[in-house]
Structure formats: C-alpha cells, structure tokens
Amino acid sequence: MDEQRIADRGTLSAIQRFLNWEAAGGLTLVAAAAVAIAWANSPVAHLYSAILAAPVAVQAGSFQIAKPLLLWINDGLMAIFFLLVGLEIKREWLEGEFARPGAIALPGMAAISAMVLPAAIYLGFNHAGPTVAGWAIPTATDIAFALGVLALLGARVPNSLKMFLLALAIIDDLGAIVIIALFYTTDLSIASLALAGVAIALLLILNLAGCARVAAYVLVGVFLWVCVLKSGVHATLAGVALGFAVPLRSDSEGREGPLHRLEHGLHPWVAFGILPVFALANAGVSLIGMSLASLALPVPLGIALGLFVGKQVAATAVTWLSVRLGLGALPEGVSWPQMYGVCVITGVGFTMSLFIGTLALADEAYSSAIRLGVLTGSLLSAALGYVVLYAADAWPRRDVRATTSST
C-alpha cells in the first residue's frame, strides 16, 4: 500500500509538472501571437514577410534541403513538437490517464464528436472548390493555449477538470496526426518511403534490444525526418514515430527511463521556444483592408464557427448524453457549468489549426483567411470559456453519479 501511494504521488507530481509547463507555455504562446499580429500591422510589416521568406539551405555534396525560413519552422521545429506529442501519448497509454480502465471513455467520445461537427460546419460553408480541403482546420484543440486559459483561473478550476481537458486534447492530437497522415500527403517518393521504413525498423530494433540511450534514437530520428521530408509524407510525422519508439523503462533500476528524460528535457524548449516561434511565424495576419465582411467569407467563417460553435456544442452534448446513459461520469467535484466551460475552451484550436491550415490550403491567397478564422474562433472560445468557468466556480456541485443512477 505504501509503495502504491508513493507511486501515485509520483504520477501526480509528473502530471502537475506537465500541467504547469503547458499552462505557462500557453500564456507565452498568446504573447507571441499578439506580437505577430502587432508586427504584421506595423510600419515594419515588410520585415516580417521578408524574414519568413528568407531562403535557408543545408547541403552535403549533391544532397540539399532548401526551404524558406517559414517552412523550416513548420516542417523542422514542429517535428520536435510532434515528437513531444508522441512521447506524451505513449506515456498516457502505458502509465497515465489512458491506462486506467474506462478513463478514456468520456474524453474520448467528447474529442471525436468535437472533431466531426466542426468539420461538418466548415464544409457547410465550403462544400465546393479548392477550399473543401480545409475541412480539418477547425477540428483541433490547442493543449498549451487551453491550459493557459485555465491557469488564469487558478484554484477556481479543479485538477480533475484539467485532467479531462488534457485527455481530450491528447486524443484530439492523435486524431490530428491520423488526419495529416491520411489526407495531407502528396507526390509520394517510393525510394524515400523505403528508406523511412528502414529507419523505423532500426528504431524498433533499438527498442526491442532494450537500448536506453536517447542519443541513438535521436540520431536515427534525424535520418527518419530527412527521409519522410523527401517522401511527400509530412515531415512532422517522423517526430510522432520517434516518440512512439522511445522506451518508457530504463535499462538500469532506479534510473529515469528514456521517455521521461526526453519528455522532461523537451518540454521547456517546446513550451517556451518552438511553439512561440511557430505562433510568431504563423499568426501574423494583416488587418489592413479587413472588416466584418472579411470574417463573413466562407473560409474564415467556416473555421471560426467550427471552432467556437462546433467544438462546444459537440463536446457538451456528447458528454451530457454519455453521463445520462451511464457510459461515463463527470470528473470528481465538477459541476455541469464547469464542464460546459471546459467544452467551450476546446474551441481554442490555435497551434494545430494554423498548422493544418498550412497543409490544407497552401496557396498564399488563403493565408490571411485561415489566420483570421483560427484567431477569431480561438479567442472567442477562450473568452467565453474563461467567463463561464469564472462564474461557475460558485455553482453548487452535486454527486452526478448518484443522480444518474437514481434516474
């Protein structure tokens, strides 16, 4: 019993560290986005575009990777973000929230429904032409930004509700990974894919052999990233594959496992470096010439309503129905108004929505429309969610499980 309590305390402290990193990173993300918007609408806006368009090349002999700085950020730095996502998903499956029987049911159903309805709303406004490809833009929830909103509320939000949002957002990320892999890959190179397969096989061999050296996995992971980049599959998926391959357990007793070491090492860099840089590079929408009529265009309107309306309606309705049918129970100490507030916050789709937007509608003509829609939907969701949760703190809590069982 003592050992179990110690293990539980260790798990809780790890989760708390994770929540703290994500919350602080979310606030940094908001600041970076604000700087990007201000810069893109300042007298030196031309520098913003020029810096992002600056050519950057890496060459060894006849082999070359040449991209503008913006794509190095979106294809390179974001691969590290997806590596962290892969590590987090694997840890949650093996020893975290998803390891407990039934724990995934409620956030899982809420996450899936909150991906389907926003996509349907977007397609309602964009059902023909090239903009159809943007259907996945409003399906994502931004973990860092969402937890940053909760951090502003402090003790008004119970940890059980934060864990619900965390589980929902991680499942959401997994869905986004599947969407990117299935729908946003073009011009496949069989030779590069074959080499990527060799790299994945090497990662699997390292794992099965019990190798606990993070450097070995990273070395193979860099090779995998280059192969995937050249294959036509989006390069960030190499980060996910690497994350899944890193072993959880150490090769020696009493030493922290490779997955935990890498996750803890990456978290501050991703939270305070990579994601803010991504936000700075992708959130700079020029407001010159824009009006309410600009938001009423099909692409930004479909994205904004998908995030702000679709996410909260789907997540709230499915959560309520699941509890009523006995398929799940509200987190301990959580009221329905608080649950609604968190469901509203799932409409904060900032990072992943902007990222999917760069893949789905790569034409520069859609860039401002995507950013306007994502920023509008995300900010509305963050603002309403904050207000609801602030007010809901005083709402009387009931034992939902007892109420449900008596009906």
pLDDT tens profile 133-184: 999 999 988 877 787 788 778 778 887 788 788 788 878 878 888 888 888 8
Q: Is residue 198 part of a domain?
A: no
Q: Is residue 211 part of a domain?
A: no
- Cβ(158)–Cβ(70) below 8 Å: no
pLDDT tens profile 4-27: 444 444 444 555 565 566 666 777
CATH number of the domain bearing residue 59: 1.20.1530.10
Q: Is residue 192 part of a domain?
A: no
Q: Is residue 212 part of a domain?
A: no
Q: Is residue 352 part of a domain?
A: yes
Give the residue-averaged pLDDT of 358-381.
Answer: 89
Which amino acid, one-letter code, is at 33?
A
Looking at residue 203, its pLDDT comes to 94
Q: Is residue 223 part of a domain?
A: no
Q: Which range is least confidently modeled, 120-134, 145-159, 326-340?
A: 145-159
Number of H helices, E strands in the chain: 19, 2
The pTM is what? 0.74
Q: Is residue 243 part of a domain?
A: yes
Name the H helices within 213-364: 214-231, 236-245, 258-269, 275-282, 292-295, 298-305, 311-324, 336-345, 350-360
Domain limits for position 39: 2-184+234-406
Number of structural domains the chain divides into:
1
Q: Is residue 205 part of a domain?
A: no
CA 267 to chain CA centroid, nearest Å: 14
Give the whole-angstrom CA distance, residue 209 versus residue 258.
14
- 57 strand-pairing partners: 66
> Helices 143-153 and 336-345 sit at what angle, rounded to 10 degrees?
140
